[in-house]
Amino acid sequence: MLPWASLLFLGVPGHAPMLPWASLLFLAAVGGHLAAAPKPMISLHPPWTTFFKGEVVTLTCIAPRVRAAGNIKWYRWYLGTEMLCETPGNTLKARVSGRYKCQTQDSLLSDDVSLIFSSGWLILQAPHSVFEGDTLLLRCQVKGREKLGTVKYSWNGKVISTSDKGQDLLIPQASLNNSGHYQCIGFLERNYTYKSSNRIIKIQELFPRPKLEVTPPQPTEGGSANLSCHTRLPLERPDALLSFIFFRDRGVMLSNWSRSPELQITAIWREDSGSYWCAAAAGVPSIRKHSLPMQVRVQGVPVSAVLLETQPQGGQVLAGERLVLVCSVAEGTGDTTFFWHREDTGESVGSKRQRSRRAELEIPAVRGSHAGRYYCTADNGHGLARSGALNVTVTGHPGEGGLVYSEIQVIQLGQEAAAPSSLSLSSSSSISFPPQHTSVVYSSVKTQLPEDSAREVRSQDEDAVESYENVQFA
C-alpha cells in the first residue's frame, strides 16, 4: 500500500497560501536567558524553491541572537563559483539559481537553500524543508497565462493522483515514507502536454529515535536509578511538544505519558532487573519512536558481619520469661533469609525471610531446656554468613521450685547436755512427739529447681525459733 491513504486537494488561489514554515523564529530560553544557536536559518517567501525566470523570492536570514547591529553576509554557489554580497538588513531578493547561505556577525554559516529559476513551461513547486507531521503541499504551475486542465502527480514513477481542475496536491501529515522523486504532468486546454522536471523531496525527521540512558548503569539493590530518554528537535521546530513514556520488558509500563524525559526510581530491587526502553511522541499522534532496549541488571550486596544478640541482654533469663534472639547484618540488600541454630545440639530452632537487615525470633516462656549455645546465619542469595555463638542461661525462681525435704530440729528443755535430735521429712510425712516435754522447734525447708538435681540444695524458707510451753504434740 502506497503512503497516500489520505490526500487532499486545494484549488489554485490567486496567491500562494502562507504556510507554517514561511516565517521561522527560533528563540530558546535556558534558565531565563537566551541560548545562542550555532547557526542562523533561511526562510523563503513565497515558500517554494522553484520559480520561473523573472520571478523574485525573498530570503530572510533569521538569527536567534544578534549581539550587535550589522550587515548580513550572503553567499551563493553556482556551477562551482562562490559569490559574496552584504545587505544592511536580514533580507535578500533572489532572482538567479544557486545555493544560498547567510551569516551574521560571529556566527556560523547557515544551511544552504537551493533555488531554481526555470525557463521551462511547467514547474513543480515544493517547500524547502518538510518534517514529519508537516503538511506537504505540491503545486504544478504553468508559464504565462496558460490554464491547466488535467494535472497528474507521480511519485517514484507511479501516478498517485489525477485531477481535472488543476488543483494542488496536499499530504496532511507527511511521513518519512513520503520521500522520493516527484513530478507533475499538465494537460492544457489546447491539448498540449507538459512535464515538469523531477524533484527530489526528502521528508526530514522531526526528532531521531530516542536513546535510553540509565544512571548508574548497574544500580544497587535498595538504591535509586534515573532513566533518561534522550532525543532532540531541529532548530526549525524548537516549539514542537514531545511526550515520553518508560517501559520494562514486554509492556510493563513504568510511567504515564509525560513532558519530562526523565524518570526516577527511588528504590530498585533485584527483581526489577530486565530490559528497559522508552518512547517519545510528538503532538502529531502518528509520530512515535522507541529506543533500543537496554539490559539493566540490579546488583545485590552480600550480607556481612552477622551478629546475634538477646533480649534481655547478656543471654541470662529467668525461667518462664520471654526471650528474643535478634539476628542482624551490617550490610546486605534484598530479601534475606535468617536462620537460628543451637550449636550444642545441632538443631534448627527457626527461620524468617524478609526485606530487612534485622530479624527476631521470640521464645514466649523460657524453660530450663532452652539453655545452651545459639548462633544465627543470614543469606540473601549472594552467599551465606554466620554469627558467633552466644550462650543462653536459664535461672529459676520460687514459683517453679520443688520441695525436696523438710528438716526439723527438736531441743528438749532441761536436757541441755543432750544433743539435739534431727528428723528429715518429706512433704507428706508427719511426726509425733512424746507428751509432757517442753521443746523448742527449729525448722528449715530445702528446695531445688526441677531438672537440676546436681545443684546444691538451698534453703528457701526459715521459721524463727519459738518456745512452746506445756504444748503436747500429737
**SS3 for 256-268, per residue?**
CCECCCEEEECCC
DSSP state of 127: B
Structurally, at CATH architecture level, domain 211-296 sits in Sandwich (2.60)
pLDDT at position 104, please?
Answer: 86
Tens-digit pLDDT profile for residues 186-214: 988 777 889 999 999 999 999 999 999 99
pLDDT at position 149, please?
Answer: 83
Cell, residue 407: 528438716
- Span 276-304, average pLDDT: 90
pLDDT at position 276, please?
Answer: 97
Rounded CA separation 139/62 (Å): 26
Percent of the chain's residues with pLDDT above 70:
74
Question: How many other CB atoms sit within 10 Å of the CB of residue 392?
Answer: 19
CA atoms within 13 A on the CB side of 18: 2
Pick one of 3.10.450.50, 1.10.10.10, 3.40.50.10490, 2.60.40.10 as the CATH number of 8-203: 2.60.40.10
Q: Where are the alpha helices (DSSP H) in 291-426?
A: none
Tell me which of 268 and 149 has the higher pLDDT.
268
In the chain, ranges of CATH 2.60.40.10 domains: 8-203, 211-296, 304-395
Q: How confident is the model at residue 4 (pLDDT cuts 50, 70, 90)?
A: very low
Rounded CA separation 193/188 (Å): 6
Tens-digit pLDDT profile for residues 137-191: 999 999 887 788 889 999 999 999 998 876 789 998 899 999 999 999 998 877 7
Rounded CA separation 168/279 (Å): 35
- Span 299-304, average pLDDT: 91
Say yes or no to pLDDT of 261 above 90.
yes
Under 8 Å CB-to-CB from 85, ≥6 apart: which residues?
73, 74, 76, 92
Rounded CA separation 378/327 (Å): 8
Q: How confident is the model at residue 466 (pLDDT cuts 50, 70, 90)?
A: very low
Rounded CA separation 291/281 (Å): 11
pLDDT at position 29, please?
Answer: 34
Yes or no: domain 304-395 corresponds to CATH 2.60.40.10: yes
Rounded CA separation 178/194 (Å): 24
Tens-digit pLDDT profile for residues 24-81: 333 333 333 344 446 899 999 999 999 999 999 999 998 876 554 578 899 999 888 8
Q: How confident is the model at residue 285 (pLDDT cuts 50, 70, 90)?
A: low
DSSP state of 55: -
CA torsion 235-239-245-250 (nearest 10°) is: -50
pLDDT at position 417, please?
Answer: 43
Rounded CA separation 389/257 (Å): 55
Local structure of 21: helix, strand or coil: coil
pLDDT at position 284, please?
Answer: 63
Rounded CA separation 270/284 (Å): 38
Decide: pTM greater than 0.75.
Answer: no
| Strands of 323-331's sheet in order across | 304-311, 323-331, 358-363
